[in-house]
Amino acid sequence: MPEPRDAKPHASTRRPAERDADLAGIDALIDRLVPALTAKLASTHLGELEVRDREWRIRLRRPPGAGWNGELRRAGDRATDRGPRGAAGHESHGHGRAGAPSDVHRLPVPGGSNGTGTVASPGATAGTGLASASSLAASAGHPSRPAHEDAGRRVATSPAVGVFRPGPRAAVGTRVREGDALGHVDVLGVPEEVPAPANGMVAELLVEGGTAVEYGQELVLVALSSPVEVGRP
Amino acid sequence: MFHRILIANRGEIALRILRACRTLGVEAVVAYSEADRESLPVQLADEAICIGPADAKRSYLSAPALISAAVLTGCDAVHPGYGFLSEDEGFAEVVRAHDLTFVGPPPEVLDRFASKEGTRRLLGAHGLPTIPGSDGMLRDDGHALDEADRIGYPVLIKPSAGGGGKGMRMVRTPRELESAIKVCRSEAKAAFGDDSLYLEKWLDDNRHVEVQVAVDRFGRGVHLGERDCSVQRRHQKILEEAPTPALGRAAREDLAERAVRAVVATGYENVGTLEFLVDREGNPYFIEINCRIQVEHPVTEMLTGVDLVALQLRIAAGEPLGLSQADIQLRGHAIEFRINAEDPAHDFRPGAGIVGQYHAPGGPGVRMDSHLYPGYEVPPFYDSLLGKLVVWGPDRETAIARSRAALDELLVEGLTTNIEIHKALLANPAFLEGHMTTNLLDRVGSGAFLAAAARA
């Protein structure tokens, strides 16, 4: 019995093709593209909606999503899709296992204006299905070094699993000294300080305040001070 | 049933719980340490969240990290697996305080069974035989001699405040008792500031037999037979099987029935295991209860067809057991081999490293529960368990024959494993005849075991 011609080949060639493309691009992505893309996404989509597992699987990919395969397991590039606990009246409607949408997750932001915050999405876990298969092949042996770091920049990472609360010193352009508190991560009501990783200037907030963060997640980018300061913003 | 579960563990048991979640249609979030970023359960999870560094104290043993992760990922339950915080009533309490369900006995039940001595008294009062001992602390030498006579030599002198073997002596005669008791008193005094001693019967050549039970919130309980865990190395189980070759059918059923009656009567809840020592005459003595899923639970699953982790989840979710004792049929024989990253040639030194080729055996009755994959780097921070090969056959001989074939087929490159010790066991007359005792491997020595197998 003839299969509908356009269904099966379509399904079976398209995914591997995309996967191959992902795999081929991984090395380049890891070193160059993804940090830039994730930073871009973090800054442009702050306060926006989360990309979902299901969207990934059904290839409703936005350009930044292309980096997930390669970057999935790197420190700080993974947020998680956070659940709706505490967000009154907002319940995830995904109930199945793989394939169930994890929905848009909002977290309460006590003191926030609209009562909800959203989860920064660069690196949200696509932990099932195809994404896993390719990350298995691609991820082994990658060092878990903050992706945003380079010769001139250091990243403050999350000391714990909790909700990020940037302090006054986390404002872009603020001069900080190593160890200064850039804010804290709220762990079940207990604050864990986020220290500045080096002397320098806050260059970018990688994660918006009120966002749920995991241990090791990149939070604040600090441009290192140099003996002769040039290129001040 | 739960909607979303946080798996607060790692390795093969995290994968096992994940699989149970999948079959129940429950979403699974795996909490992982930085050292487990590349692990299989993390990659297969519906979601994974990094909770801390490799150091277990700041990750898998950190209640705030785990609960914060559960809350932030929208979980409604936490499965602790085994080890780590699995029997910690404080953790279970905090989990509940955050409106989450602890998958295991409720905190007050964990608390009731937290003390080994208290549990022995409690379950002893409900019909379980316990190791005969002196009636309270030894008042003087005369009292000690009388009690030892009553219990029967050999006896073990134990300090009341003890732990770690300090102040403990086994004596075989009244004469030995008289001289040892002074030494024990001074050792106990020095080590614990308390020189009170008591006596316990010493069991030569004992076997370790444990009964699997499951009790729901409504006080309905079943047993799922027993497992024999007598093959041990320095008190670490390395091979488990069921049914136990140590007891006949009637004795096995009697033990299991007494066990489930005792735990139901004392308000136990969820799955659990009652451990017994069995002496040479086949007398069982209750020693402790494990209030969690155990490493060797697949042995029972192979015999009964019951998914114990799914059962654990259903009970924790408040569902009735849905099983009567008549529904539990124990079929055939199953053996579990713990595959560890250990070097038998070098005193079982634990190893770590990158897995090269990996092949899990198959065929009828063969199950491999393992989180390995080619290229996976086994981190050095946790236990050395790489997986469990579980083999079922309609009878013990068939199970052993299938086990030999499966062990030959199993391939784990890149790491030194204890596979050879399992092959040696399957060539050892004591094992083949079903006469293993908990001290045999240590007494003979693993080296001699391996050498004998090589000659055979």
Counting one residue from A and one from B, how many pairs have CB atoms under 8 Å apart?
128
Report the alpha-carbon distance of residue B339 to residue B371 in Å, rounded. Answer: 11
Of A101, A76, A109, A89, which Cα lies nearest the Cα of A186? A109
Residues of A in contact with B34 (CB under 8 A): 75, 144, 215-216
pLDDT digits (tens, 9 = 90+) for B14-58: 999 999 999 999 999 999 999 999 999 999 999 999 999 999 999
Peptide bond into A2 cis (omega under 30): no
SS3 at position B150 = helix
Residues of B in contact with A75 (CB under 8 A): 34, 37, 50
Using the Cβ of B47 and the Cβ atoms of chain A, whether some distance falls under 8 Å is answered with yes
Report the alpha-carbon distance of residue B211 to residue B225 in Å, rounded. Answer: 6
Of B188, B238, B164, B216, which Cα lies nearest the Cα of B438? B238
Report the alpha-carbon distance of residue A194 to residue A169 in Å, rounded. Answer: 11
Residues of B in contact with A127 (CB under 8 A): 30, 42-48
Phi, psi of A222 (to 5 degrees): -115, 125
Contacts of A200 (CB under 8 A, 6+ apart): A153, A154, A175, A176, A222, A223, A224, A225
Backbone torsion region of residue B274, taken as left when φ is above 0, otherwise alpha when ψ lies between -120 and 50, otherwise beta: beta
Mark yes or no for CB contact B46/A135 under 8 Å: no
Pick from B52, B74, B375: CB nearest A84: B74
Phi, psi of B13 (to 5 degrees): -75, -30
Using the Cβ of B101 and the Cβ atoms of chain A, whether some distance falls under 8 Å is answered with no
Mark yes or no for CB contact A215/B52 under 8 Å: yes
Pick from B37, B38, B44: CB nearest A128: B44
Report the alpha-carbon distance of residue A128 to residue B21 in Å, rounded. Answer: 14
pLDDT of residue A102: 33
Find the mean pLDDT for residues A142-156: 76
Mark yes or no for CB contact A214/B373 under 8 Å: no
Peptide bond into B243 cis (omega under 30): yes
Report the alpha-carbon distance of residue B165 to residue B168 in Å, rounded. Answer: 5
Mark yes or no for CB contact B48/A132 under 8 Å: no
Single-letter code of the amino acid located at B367: R
pLDDT of residue A149: 83
CB-based burial label for B281 (10 Å; 0-12, 13-18, 19+): exposed
Of A64, A56, A74, which Cα lies nearest the Cα of A19? A56
Q: Is the pLDDT reported for residue A169 higher than 50? A: yes
Strand runs labelled E in chain A: 106-108, 116-118, 153-157, 162-166, 175-176, 181-187, 190-195, 200-205, 212-213, 218-224
For B403, how many CA atoms within 13 A lie in the half-sphere containing its CB?
33
Of B19, B33, B57, B97, which Cα lies nearest the Cα of B297? B19
Residues of A in contact with B3 (CB under 8 A): 92, 95
Mark yes or no for CB contact B68/A128 under 8 Å: no
CB environment B105-132: b (16+ within 10 A), e (fewer): bbbebbebbeeeeebbebbeeeebebbb
CB environment B141-160: b (16+ within 10 A), e (fewer): eeebeebbeebeebbbbbbb
Residues of A in contact with B44 (CB under 8 A): 127-128, 132
Residue-wise DSSP of B170-191:
EESSHHHHHHHHHHHHHHHHHH
Using the Cβ of B45 and the Cβ atoms of chain A, whether some distance falls under 8 Å is answered with yes
pLDDT of residue B345: 86
- Report CA A214 to chain centroid distance, whole Å: 10
Nearest residue of chain B to residue A83 (CA atoms)? B74
Q: What is the mean pLDDT of chain A?
A: 58
Pick from B27, B50, B354: CB nearest A97: B27
Report the alpha-carbon distance of residue B188 to residue B209 in Å, rounded. Answer: 31
Chain B segment 58-97 residues within 8 A of A by beta carbon are 59, 64-65, 67-69, 71-75
Report strand pairing: B4-7 vs B77-79: parallel
Strand runs labelled E in B216-279: 221-233, 236-242, 270-278
Contact between residue B422 and residue B188 where contact means Cβ atoms under 8 Å apart = no
B22-B19-B408 Cα angle (round to 5) = 150
Phi, psi of B137 (to 5 degrees): -80, 155
Of B233, B210, B237, B211, which Cα lies nearest the Cα of B224? B211
Find the mean pLDDT for residues A118-133: 33
Contacts of A15 (CB under 8 A, 6+ apart): A130
Mark yes or no for CB contact B53/A215 under 8 Å: yes
Residues of B designated as active site: 292
Report the alpha-carbon distance of residue B450 to residue B431 in Å, rounded. Answer: 14
SS3 at position B435 = coil
Pick B445 or A129 by higher pLDDT.
B445
Q: What is the mean pLDDT of chain B?
A: 95
Find the mean pLDDT for residues A107-130: 33
Give 10-residue mean pLDDT values along chain B (456 residues): 98 98 98 98 98 98 98 98 96 97 97 89 95 88 94 90 74 94 90 89 92 98 98 92 97 98 98 96 94 98 98 98 97 98 91 96 98 97 97 98 98 96 94 93 85 78
Residues of B in contact with A216 (CB under 8 A): 34, 50
Q: Say what the ipTM of the complex is.
A: 0.87
Contact between residue B374 and residue B356 where contact means Cβ atoms under 8 Å apart = yes
Using the Cβ of B318 and the Cβ atoms of chain A, whether some distance falls under 8 Å is answered with no
Q: How confident is the model at residue A231 (pLDDT cuts 50, 70, 90)?
A: very low
Contacts of B240 (CB under 8 A, 6+ apart): B227, B228, B229, B231, B296, B299, B335, B336
C-alpha distances in angstroms, B195 versus A11, B178, B186? 76, 15, 7
Nearest residue of chain A to residue B40 (CA atoms)? A136
Phi, psi of B189 (to 5 degrees): -60, -45
Structure tokens at B393: 């056959």
Mark yes or no for CB contact A85/B69 under 8 Å: no
Nearest residue of chain B to residue A73 (CA atoms)? B37
Of A193, A50, A72, A192, which Cα lies nearest the Cα of A123? A72
pLDDT of residue B347: 87
Strand runs labelled E in B85-206: 101-102, 155-159, 169-171, 197-201
Pick B59 or A103 by higher pLDDT.
B59
Least confident of A96-105, A204-213, B223-232, B344-353: A96-105
Residues of A in contact with B50 (CB under 8 A): 75, 78, 161, 214-217
Pick from B25, B47, B50: CB nearest A127: B47
Least confident of A26-30, A85-89, B268-272, B451-455: A85-89
Using the Cβ of B53 and the Cβ atoms of chain A, whether some distance falls under 8 Å is answered with yes
pLDDT of residue B454: 79
Contact between residue B159 and residue B194 where contact means Cβ atoms under 8 Å apart = yes
Of A5, A29, A193, A206, which Cα lies nearest the Cα of A119? A206
Pick from A81, A128, A140: CB nearest B38: A140
Report the alpha-carbon distance of residue A169 to residue B77 in Å, rounded. Answer: 37
pLDDT of residue A34: 52
For helices B63-72 and B89-97, the axis angle rounded to 10 degrees is: 30
Contact between residue B288 and residue B280 where contact means Cβ atoms under 8 Å apart = no
| Chain A: closest CA distance from residue B296 (Å) | 27
Q: How confident is the model at residue A47 (pLDDT cuts 50, 70, 90)?
A: very low
Report strand pairing: A212-213 vs B377-378: unpaired
Q: Is the pLDDT reported for residue A184 higher than 50? A: yes
pLDDT of residue B444: 85
Mark yes or no for CB contact A136/B43 under 8 Å: yes
Report the alpha-carbon distance of residue A52 to residue B306 in Å, rounded. Answer: 35
